Amino acid sequence: MITKIKKIVKKYKDFLLLSFLAILIFGFGFSLGIISGGKFFGRPPIIIEKDLLWEKEDFEIKANQREKYVASKKGKYYYPINCPLANNLSESNKIYFFSKEEAEAQGYIYQSKCENY
């Protein structure tokens, strides 16, 4: 049995050595990629400062109070939050509204190009 193994090893020693080296190199490269990828592309750790569990009622209230419209302090139109035209507004000039009535009370006009949003 041992002589059979010795013959096989002797016959395929170059192939076995090459295979072993290839596995070592690929394993080392993979490990190095994981380590360096974590350093270069890693994000800062997430710090949770608040309790993540909400009561159902609290969640429903917060969902209903989400801002639904946006306007620019320097403009005259207001847009639904998900309207592509709203993406062109400068972040420093954006103001948010919970309802159309609130925006119109401030003198803003609804942008009719955003009807489908």
Q: Tell me the pLDDT of the chain (117 aa) as tens digits.
A: 788 888 888 888 888 889 989 999 888 888 777 666 666 556 666 676 665 555 555 545 444 556 789 999 999 999 998 899 988 899 899 998 888 999 999 999 999 898 876
Please give the Cα distance from 17 to 14 (Å, whole number).
Answer: 5
Same domain? 33 vs 65:
no
Q: Is residue 51 part of a domain?
A: no
Residue range(s) defining the domain that contains residue 84 = 56-114
Q: Is residue 74 part of a domain?
A: yes
Q: How many domains does the chain have?
A: 2
pTM: 0.44
Q: Is residue 20 part of a domain?
A: yes
100: enclosing H helix or E strand: helix 100-105
Which structure tokens are listed for 48? 């949770």
Q: Is residue 48 part of a domain?
A: no
Same domain? 107 vs 79:
yes
Same domain? 61 vs 35:
no
